[in-house]
């Protein structure tokens, strides 16, 4: 592997980049060398990793939420004879509880699921 600095990292390389920045920072501290902006880069990469992990978690939630929402929406319109707004609220509630049941360790509130789905743009219309 070359010693040439790398400026573009793929998403799956962020963990190794973060680890290498940490090792470099530790070695520089041990050698008494001043920080050349590595700490700021390490903090930036940590934030990128957090955002990526949150997005991956929300996408996993969406895979459970979407079928529950769609099925409940159709049920509310056809069988319960609800209006579209009532059906949307009913389906949203069913989808949120489906995610909470499937990922009980990760999430415990419907508000967190609702915010995540809104962030993904799935249930923005009310």
Q: Give the pLDDT confidence of 26-77 residue by residue, as tens digits.
A: 887 777 777 667 777 778 878 888 888 899 999 999 999 999 999 999 999 9
Q: How confident is the model at residue 8 (pLDDT cuts 50, 70, 90)?
A: low
CB within 8 Å of 101: residues ≥ 6 apart: none
Q: Residue 58: which of 125, 104, 15, 114 has the closest Cα? A: 114
Total-model pTM: 0.68
What pLDDT was estimated at residue 20?
Answer: 80
């Amino acid at each position: 592997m070359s010693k040439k600095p790398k400026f573009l990292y793929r998403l799956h390389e962020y963990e190794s980049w973060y680890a290498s920045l940490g090792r470099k920072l530790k070695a520089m501290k041990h050698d008494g060398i001043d920080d050349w902006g590595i700490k700021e880069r390490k903090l930036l990469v940590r934030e990128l990793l957090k955002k990526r992990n949150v997005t991956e978690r929300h996408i996993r939630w969406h895979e459970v939420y979407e079928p529950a929402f769609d099925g409940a929406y159709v049920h509310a319109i056809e069988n319960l004879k609800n209006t579209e707004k009532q059906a949307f609220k009913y389906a949203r509630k069913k989808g949120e509880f489906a995610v909470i049941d499937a990922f009980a360790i990760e999430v415990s509130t419907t508000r967190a699921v609702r915010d995540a789905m809104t962030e993904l743009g799935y249930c923005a219309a009310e």
